[in-house]
């Protein structure tokens, strides 16, 4: 089908109008605010933010990944890109096909975006302030999550370390940065297939207990995220991962989503393990050279099988490249690899306490 517009023109017209466009397709207006909140796509609590950078309708979810306004339409309506583009064009009055037109607002002329600053020096500074996991608050946190810390301390992790006092920044109601304190944190170095640093994954920790930080905005009282990701620039994290282990001569690699899930899967399967951090990045994972066998540990998400779909997408691509691929997923709905590991350990404990 030939459309009566060029995509560049459509993208230009949509810029600055995404809140209107997304509201027209049924996304609640409350979701279209730059604050942490439940994700309208996957339903996860406090994992979504509509940041709308440079007016392009951008969003980020710890589960679904990130995208622009067109990706948002595709995810919400579960459609392909041409259908999403036609929907946007129809809302903006650019599609002359005989379908219902939506009321449109005057299209503002978008300002020329300023070039992004590469944040690598900042990321490197934070990373150079970290220390090994041995004896750290991060190790105590991982032990409290049910992980075998002896399997962790036996290895000197080069891409997962502890920061003793990482500042926690947010914005006040006027958009000005405010510092809420300094906290211990587990830091994962997100690297590309060349091993070059592209971002940092941060899990802030409670100062007095072995658990994640619970923190609220001082003005609004809204819960703030205890996990954050920093990137060098837009798009730098796509397909990258946090390697828990180097690749070995077997060519086998285990990949999954979250950091804690990665530690658990590593304990379950005893394979070199990399954390892709969310479903979108798992699906887009860049396969490194030297890998010939891939085990994908998928979260058993409910009600929508986002984790399995991401694993399936990666598996399909890996099979086309000639790799041996297997997908493993916990049988229990709502479980990830860490939940399954703790279930197994609990059953083992019960068996020991009540031998038949």
Residue indicated by tokens 């690899």 = 337
CA distances from 287 to 48, 98, 133, 262, 320 (A): 27, 45, 27, 17, 12
User: What span, in angstroms and rounded, lies between the C-alpha atoms of 17 and 31?
Assistant: 15
CA distances from 341 to 147, 297, 305, 344 (A): 8, 12, 20, 5
User: What span, in angstroms and rounded, lies between the C-alpha atoms of 63 and 43?
Assistant: 10
Two domains, one topology: 7-91 and 238-356: no
pLDDT of residue 325: 98
User: What span, in angstroms and rounded, lies between the C-alpha atoms of 193 and 291?
Assistant: 11
The answer, as to whether pTM is greater than 0.75, is no
pLDDT of residue 224: 86
CB hemisphere CA count around 198 (13 angstroms)? 18
* Per-residue pLDDT tens digits of the chain, which is 356 residues long: 445 557 777 887 788 889 889 988 888 888 888 888 888 887 766 668 898 887 888 888 877 777 888 889 888 887 778 888 888 888 877 764 544 444 433 444 444 455 678 999 999 999 999 999 999 999 999 999 999 998 787 777 899 999 999 999 988 877 789 999 999 999 999 999 999 999 999 999 999 999 999 999 898 888 888 999 999 988 889 899 999 999 999 999 999 999 999 999 999 999 999 999 988 899 999 999 999 999 999 999 888 888 999 999 999 999 999 999 999 999 999 999 999 999 999 988 877 777 76
pLDDT of residue 5: 58
Domain ranges of the chain: 7-91, 119-233, 238-356
141 near 152, Cβ under 8 Å? no
CA distances from 80 to 62, 83, 305 (A): 22, 6, 18
Residue indicated by tokens 């493993």 = 328
238-356: CATH topology is Dna Topoisomerase Vi A Subunit; Chain: A, domain 2 (3.40.1360)
Q: What is the 3-state secondary structure (H, E, C) of the chain?
A: CCCCCCHHHHHHHHCCCHHHHHHHCCCCHHHCCCCCECCCCCCCCCCEECCCHHHCCCEEECCCEEECHHHHHHHHHCCCHHHHHHHHHHHCCCCCCCCCCCCCCCCCCCCCCCCCCCCHHHHHHHHHCCECCCCCHHHHHHHHCCCCCHHHHCCCCCCEEEEEEEEEEEECCCCCEEEEEEEEEEEEEEECCCCCEEEEEEEEECCCCCCECCEECCCCCCEECCEEEEECCCCCCCCCEEECCCCCCCCEEEEECCHHHHHHHHHHHCCCEEECCCHHHHHCCCCCCCCCEEEEECCCCCCCCHHHHHHHHHHHHHHHCCCEEEEECCCCCCCCHHHHHHHHHHHHHHHHHCCC
User: What span, in angstroms and rounded, lies between the C-alpha atoms of 72 and 63?
Assistant: 14
pLDDT of residue 356: 62
Q: ∠ at Cα 174 (171, 180), nearest 5°?
A: 30
Beta bridge partners of 229: 201
pLDDT of residue 298: 96
185 near 162, Cβ under 8 Å? yes
User: CATH classification of 7-91, choosing from 3.30.70, 3.30.300, 1.10.3470, 3.90.580?
Assistant: 3.90.580
């Amino acid at each position: 089908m030939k459309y009566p517009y060029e995509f560049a023109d459509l993208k230009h017209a949509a810029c600055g109008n995404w809140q209107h466009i997304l509201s027209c397709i049924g996304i609640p207006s409350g979701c279209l605010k730059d604050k942490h909140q439940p994700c309208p796509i996957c339903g996860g609590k406090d994992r979504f933010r509509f940041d709308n950078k440079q007016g392009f309708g951008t969003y980020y979810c710890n589960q679904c990944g990130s995208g622009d306004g067109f990706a948002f339409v595709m995810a919400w309506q579960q459609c392909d890109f041409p259908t999403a583009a036609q929907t946007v064009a129809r809302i903006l009055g650019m599609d002359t096909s005989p379908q219902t037109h939506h009321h449109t607002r005057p299209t503002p002329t978008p300002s020329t975006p300023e070039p992004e600053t590469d944040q690598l020096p900042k990321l490197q500074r934070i990373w150079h302030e970290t220390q090994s996991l041995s004896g750290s608050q991060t190790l105590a946190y991982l032990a409290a999550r049910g992980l075998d810390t002896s399997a962790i301390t036996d290895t000197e992790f080069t891409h997962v370390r502890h920061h003793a006092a990482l500042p926690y920044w947010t914005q006040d109601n006027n958009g000005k940065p405010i510092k809420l304190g300094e906290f211990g944190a587990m830091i994962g170095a997100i690297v590309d297939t060349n091993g070059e640093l592209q971002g940092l994954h941060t899990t802030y920790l409670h100062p007095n207990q072995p658990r994640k930080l619970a923190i609220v905005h001082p003005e609004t009282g809204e819960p703030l995220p205890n996990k954050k990701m920093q990137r060098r620039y837009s798009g730098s994290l796509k397909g990258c991962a946090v390697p828990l282990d180097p690749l070995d001569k077997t060519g086998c690699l285990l990949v999954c989503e979250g950091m804690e899930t990665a530690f658990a899967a590593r304990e379950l399967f005893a394979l070199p393990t990399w954390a892709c951090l969310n479903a979108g990045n798992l699906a887009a994972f860049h396969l490194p050279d030297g890998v010939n066998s891939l085990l994908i540990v998928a979260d058993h998400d409910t009600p929508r099988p986002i984790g399995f779909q991401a694993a399936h997408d990666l598996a399909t691509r890996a099979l086309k490249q000639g790799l041996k691929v297997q997908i493993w997923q916990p049988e229990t709905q709502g479980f990830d690899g860490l939940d399954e590991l703790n279930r197994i350990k609990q059953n083992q404990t019960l068996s020991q306490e009540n031998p038949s």
